[in-house]
Amino acid sequence: MASTDIANVGEAQRTRGQSMSGKKRTRRGWLDRYSALLVGVVLVGAWQILVPLSGLSEFVLPTPLAIGKRIVSDASLLMAHTYVTLLEVVFGFAIGVLMGVPLALFIFYSKAFERAIYPILVGLQTVPKISLAPILVLYLGYGWAPKIVLAFLISFFPIVISTVVGLQSLDKNLVNLVRSMGANEWQTFFKLRLPAALPNIFGGFKVAVSLAVIGAVIGEYVAAERGLGYLQLQANSQFDTTLNFATVVTISALGVILYFIIDVIEARVSYKRDAGK
């Protein structure tokens, strides 16, 4: 029952998304649509031209072209380390979702639970997770575990908070409406509360996945034998600035790709309130 309802929502989003983008294309100009891309190209172009003109050596600041070439030539090396980091991020984030969403449900449904847990959660959020990295390494060693735990810890909070806020921000009258139709709490949740909270929940997921990348890389900085963070430290110690930058680009790309994967999933299951405006 729940799954069909969510599938319907996705259907709506898709058909609607198509008609909307069609309208936009005619209304907005080419320049308007690609303005961000254009600014990006100009900035990178300026970097490319200004580096040789300023007389900076490649060791200090490599050109974008050099970085690009290095990414291509060292693709297999970068991919091997990306794979490690990616798994850490995915596991950490997945645990964050699997624990964060149920915890948010407990906080939402139980006032006692909310009073007992919510303040502690907010208090813990003031602890910079990154500062736990050395301790986690101490406890969990050099392998996967501390990175996954760090990615989990850092992505957990935004998932819990956005889910709780999404559930709590529902108009009480809507609950009265479905109750007047004879809905039980199960139906109220799947027909009303969950679909209404999805935009918030996915907003939290997007923030969380970007943070999870940071968590995993920081974990690798502290102690690792593999992963993009490790690779970057290696490049650093060998004064290989080009590889260093190539790693930064790869880490960024990883974050962006994960963000868009969540965006695509959201488009399939959720429906934005403002899509038609």
- Closest approach, Cβ 152 to another protein, in A, equals 30
Q: Are 178 and 186 in contact (CB under 8 A)?
A: no
CB of 195 to another protein, least distance (A): 5
Task: Decide: is 277 part of the binding site for another protein (CB under 8 A).
Answer: yes
Smallest distance from the beta carbon of 273 to another protein, in angstroms?
5
Which part of the chain contacts another protein (CB under 8 A), choosing from 121-129, 139-147, 192-200, 245-253?
192-200
Closer by beta carbon to another protein, 163 or else 210: 163
Under the binding rule (CB under 8 A), the answer on residue 185 touching another protein is no
* Four-residue CA torsion sign, 29, 35, 41, 42: positive
- For 277, the 3-state DSSP assignment is coil
Name the token pair of 269: 């299951």
Alpha-carbon distance of 248 to 244, in angstroms, equals: 6
> Given the rule CB under 8 A, which of 53-61, 110-118, 187-195, 217-225 is the region that contacts another protein?
187-195
165 binds another protein (CB under 8 A): no
In SS3 terms, 26-56 reads as HHCCHHHHCHHHHHHHHHHHHHHHHHHHHCC
Which of 55, 123, 128, 276 lies at the binding interface for another protein (CB under 8 A)? 276
In this structure, what are the phi and psi dihedrals at residue 66, rounded to the nearest 5 degrees? -65, -40
Tell whether residue 271 is a contact of another protein (CB under 8 A).
yes
Q: Does 12 bind another protein (CB under 8 A)?
A: yes
**Is the CA virtual torsion 109, 113, 119, 124 positive or negative?**
negative
> Per rule CB under 8 A, is residue 182 in the interface with another protein?
yes
Binding span for another protein by CB under 8 A among 32-40, 103-111, 126-134, 167-175: 167-175
- In angstroms, rounded to a whole number, what is the distance separating the alpha carbons of residues 25 and 275? 15
Query: Residue 3 or residue 54: which is nearer to another protein going by CB?
Result: 3
Signed CA dihedral, 34, 40, 43, 49: sign only:
negative
Q: What secondary structure letter does DSSP report for 230?
A: H
To the nearest whole angstrom, how small is the minimum distance from the Cβ of residue 268 to another protein? 13
Closest to another protein by CB, 200 vs 247, is 200
What's the CA gap between 232 and 220, in Å, rounded? 9
Residue 87 or 170 having the CB closest to another protein: 170
